Amino acid sequence: MMVACRLTKGFREQVQAYGGELTQIGPGVHEVRGLMHLLYCIETEEVSNPVLHIFSRSFLRNPASLLPLLNEAEYAILMEVFDEIQQFKLDARANQRYVDYKEVAMTREEFVEAMMAFVPLEKRLKGLDLETRLHGLSPEDRLKGLSPEEREHLLNLLLANKSS
């Protein structure tokens, strides 16, 4: 199997020069017959499968764009790939061997930050208690989100609490 961003003209010419026949069998998926062995080629920029798109340059530039397309199992695969990349980054010689090293060299925090941009607010807040949600907000900031009716109700609660 060969995985590449796209199949270049030079690659296609080499397949023909060696007597191979390149056949597209799906979006971004090709089969090469007529060589010494069967070869499958994946064009990561073209493939329709979101898991295979993980290996594309466009994913490296904008990883969060893929998040809405993934189901739970595919998301788990994405996390496994990301963990493998983190291990790869620990290899001091990696940046000497791979031209695209800097493109995959984002930190877990950068990755999570990019992914969170596409997670709806309700999902991000799910499971957080009120203290955690309000932590770090000044009293003035807490009041900004309240409607006039809610502010009046809060004032009445505070006054009732003060007199008791």
Instruction: Give residue 4's pLDDT.
Output: 85
pLDDT at position 15 is 93
Q: Angle formed by the axes of helices 108-116 and 72-89, to 10°? A: 150
On average, the pLDDT of the chain sits at 80
* 33 has pLDDT over 80: yes
What tens digit of pLDDT does each residue of 131-164 get?
888 888 888 888 887 888 988 898 888 888 877 6
Q: What is the pLDDT of residue 120?
A: 78
What is the pTM (predicted TM-score) of this model? Answer: 0.46
- The Cα–Cα gap between 75 and 81 comes to 10
Mind listing the pLDDT tens digit for each residue in 68-92?
778 888 888 877 877 776 666 666 6
Number of helices (H) and strands (E), helices first, in the chain?
10, 4
| pLDDT, greater one: 26 or 110 | 26
